[in-house]
C-alpha cells in the first residue's frame, strides 16, 4: 500500500466514523494539520507512532509493511524466532522437561498457539514459554500470554493426561542490547507481570518445585512469571552470538 492510499484509507475511515479532522486530532493528541498531511499521503513528515495513533482514533490499526527481496523478510524474521524456539526447547529437555511445541488452541473465542509448553511430571508443574525477537504492543503481548497461561492446564490435561498444580509464564528474548533496551523502556509494566529475573527463571527451570517460586503471582496455583534472555548460537560455527543487531564492518 503506497502513501497516498494510506492517506485515502484514513480519510475514508474518518468519514465513515462521522468525525472531523479536528476531532481525530484531539483523540490522537496532535494538531489538525497532522491529520490533514496524513490524509494527503504526506507520510514522510509523520512518525510511525503518529500514524498508529491517527488510525487508532478512527477505530483502526496501522501496521507498517516492510518489503525486501520479494517477501524474504518474513522468512528472515521467522528464522530468528525458530532458532530461539529450538534453543529453548533443547535447554529444557536437557533439564528434564517434557516439551511440546506449537500447541494450538481454540477456547471461549480465543484462538492461537503456545510457542512451547513444558511439563514436569514429578512436580506437576508446567511452563508456558513465549519467544519474542522484538516487542510490539506490550499490553497485547502480556494479555495474550495470560490467556495462554490460563488455558495451559486444560491443554496439558488433553495432551499429557494430568492436571498441573502450577503454571509458570516465561517470556524469552534473544540476548542483546536491543532486546534489553526494549524491555527497559517498559520496565514497570514488565515487572508487574514478570517479576522474576532471568537468574530466578533458570534456577526454577533447573529444579522446579511444588512450592511457589520467587517471582510467583498471586492466588492458588500461581506460578513463576519472569523474563529470560537467552544467548543464541551461530547455526554454522556453533559459537555463542547475541540475538541483537550486529555491527557490520566495511571491507578493507
DSSP-assigned states of every residue in 219-237: STTEEEEEEEEEPEEPTTT
Q: Has residue 149 got a pLDDT over 90?
A: yes
According to the model, what pLDDT value does residue 145 have?
Answer: 95
- The predicted model scores a pTM of 0.64
User: How does pLDDT run across 7-36, given as a tens digit for each residue?
Assistant: 989 999 999 889 999 999 999 999 999 999
Q: Is 125 helix (H, G, I), strand (E, B) or coil?
A: strand
Burial 202-224 (b: 16+ CB within 10 A, else e): bebbeebeeebbebbbeeeebbb
What would the grid cell of residue 106 be? 481454540
Q: Which domains does the chain have, with CATH numbers?
A: 3-57 (1.10.260.40), 72-233 (3.40.1350)
User: How does pLDDT run across 98-131, given as a tens digit for each residue?
Assistant: 999 999 998 877 888 999 999 999 999 999 999 9
pLDDT band at 67 (very low <50, low <70, confident <90, very high): low
Q: Which residues contact 201 (CB under 8 A, 6 or more apart)?
A: 170, 215, 224, 226, 227, 228
User: How does pLDDT run across 169-205, given as a tens digit for each residue?
Assistant: 999 999 988 888 888 988 999 999 999 999 999 999 9
What would the grid cell of residue 122 be? 514429578
Amino acid at each position: 500500500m503506497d502513501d497516498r492510499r494510506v492517506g485515502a484509507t484514513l480519510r475514508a475511515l474518518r468519514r465513515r466514523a462521522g468525525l472531523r479532522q479536528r476531532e481525530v486530532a484531539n483523540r490522537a493528541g496532535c494538531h489538525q494539520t497532522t491529520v490533514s498531511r496524513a490524509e494527503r499521503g504526506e507520510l514522510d513528515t509523520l512518525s510511525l507512532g503518529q500514524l498508529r495513533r491517527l488510525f487508532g482514533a478512527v477505530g483502526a490499526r496501522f501496521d507498517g509493511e516492510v518489503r525486501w527481496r520479494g517477501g524474504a523478510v518474513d522468512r528472515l524474521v521467522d528464522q530468528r524466532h525458530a532458532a530461539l524456539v529450538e534453543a529453548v526447547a533443547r535447554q529444557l529437555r536437557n533439564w528434564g522437561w517434557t516439551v511440546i511445541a506449537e500447541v494450538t488452541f481454540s477456547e471461549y473465542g480465543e484462538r492461537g498457539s503456545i510457542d512451547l509448553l513444558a511439563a514436569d511430571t514429578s512436580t506437576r508443574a508446567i511452563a508456558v514459554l513465549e519467544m519474542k525477537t522484538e516487542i510490539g504492543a506490550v499490553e497485547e503481548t502480556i494479555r495474550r500470554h495470560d490467556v495462554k497461561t490460563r488455558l495451559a492446564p486444560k491443554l496439558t490435561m488433553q495432551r499429557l493426561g494430568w492436571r498441573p498444580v502450577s503454571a509458570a509464564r516465561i517470556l524469552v528474548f534473544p540476548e542483546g542490547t536491543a532486546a534489553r533496551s526494549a524491555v527497559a523502556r517498559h520496565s514497570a509494566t514488565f515487572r508487574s507481570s514478570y517479576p522474576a529475573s532471568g537468574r530466578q527463571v533458570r534456577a526454577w527451570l533447573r529444579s522446579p518445585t511444588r512450592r511457589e517460586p520467587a517471582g510467583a503471582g498471586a492466588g492458588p496455583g500461581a506460578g513463576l512469571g519472569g523474563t529470560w534472555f537467552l544467548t543464541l548460537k551461530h547455526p554454522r560455527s556453533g559459537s555463542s552470538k547475541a540475538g541483537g543487531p550486529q555491527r557490520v564492518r566495511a571491507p578493507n
